[in-house]
Chain A
Amino acid sequence: MPNIEVNGKSYETDEEGYLVNLADWNRDVADYIAKAESVNMTDQHWEVVDFLRGYYDEYQIAPAVRVLTKAIGKKLGPEKGNSQYLYELFPYGPAKQACKIAGLPKPTGCV
């Protein structure tokens, strides 16, 4: 099992770089994963990551892109609830990449 090293602490990840233990997540770990993905975290990025954490906490799944987009639109407004905005923040897919940074498992049905 590959590990990542953040602030002298070791965290277990899977082959694709997703955190194995949900509870391991913190902002420093998120920052580290984001850097590895060449994503420079801004307030806009954190907003989406925090939203995903909240969604997972409530429903125990990572949402599909379509569902995430719609739910973000409802909560943060239509200018953010569209795939263009989300793909600009997370070029490799808002669900896939943002979930990885948020320390969540890969969304169910994500291909």
Chain B
Amino acid sequence: MSEESSIKKFMFVNRKPPYGTVYALEALEVVLITAAFDQDVSLVFLDDGVYQLRKGQQTKGIETKNFSPTYRALDGYDIEKLYVEKESLEARGLTEDDLLVDVMVLDRAALGALMDQQDVVLSF
């Protein structure tokens, strides 16, 4: 019981595309570190953040590390709660099929409600 209560809900909110700034990569690294602490971690992708999960990224031409395969490793780190805002996907003409991992698609109301339930929200 006491162990149960030490688990907090952590939400990482990703709103930036992957390569123009360092936010996306930094968020991913913090998420991987947080995984070691056995907390209730969820990742949210909204606005341009949904582009982080876009299939088919090929970064050779910009001489930058392609970190998109690392999102597929999250499952092995027991991070299974990946949420994508429906409206953000639609605004970009994307569907779940365009994303490189399995996600749960929520509308903005559901996502807002989920955000309200968190103990810690980290913004990137």
Q: List residues of A whose CB falls within 8 A of some B CB.
A: 58-61, 63-64, 66-67, 70-71, 108-109
Q: List residues of B whose CB falls within 8 A of some A CB.
A: 29, 32-33, 35-36, 65-67, 69-70, 72-73, 76-77
Residue of A nearest to B68 (CB): A60
| Set of chain B residues within 8 Å of A61, measured between Cβ atoms | 32, 70, 73
CA distance A70 to B73 in the complex (A): 13
CB contact between A63 and one of B29, B33, B69, B76 (< 8 Å): that residue:
B76
CB contact between A64 and one of B66, B70, B72, B77 (< 8 Å): that residue:
B77
Q: Is the CB of B66 within 8 A of A60?
A: yes
Give chain B's interface secondary structure class.
helix
Q: Is the CB of B76 within 8 A of A71?
A: yes
Q: Total contacts A to B, CB within 8 angstroms?
A: 36
Known A-B contacts A64-B77, A67-B77, A71-B76; the reply to A59 vs B70 at CB < 8 A is yes
Min C-beta distance of A111 to chain B, whole Å: 9
CB contact between A70 and one of B33, B66, B76 (< 8 Å): that residue:
B76
CB contact between A109 and one of B33, B67, B70, B76 (< 8 Å): that residue:
B33
CA distance A67 to B75 in the complex (A): 10
| Set of chain B residues within 8 Å of A67, measured between Cβ atoms | 73, 76-77
Residue of B32, B67, B76 with highest tally of chain A CB at under 10 A: B76
CB contact between A66 and one of B36, B65, B66, B67 (< 8 Å): that residue:
B36
Q: Is the CB of B32 within 8 A of A60?
A: no
| Set of chain A residues within 8 Å of B29, measured between Cβ atoms | 108-109
| Set of chain B residues within 8 Å of A108, measured between Cβ atoms | 29, 32-33
| Set of chain B residues within 8 Å of A60, measured between Cβ atoms | 65-67, 69-70
| Set of chain B residues within 8 Å of A70, measured between Cβ atoms | 76
| Set of chain A residues within 8 Å of B73, measured between Cβ atoms | 58-59, 61, 63, 67
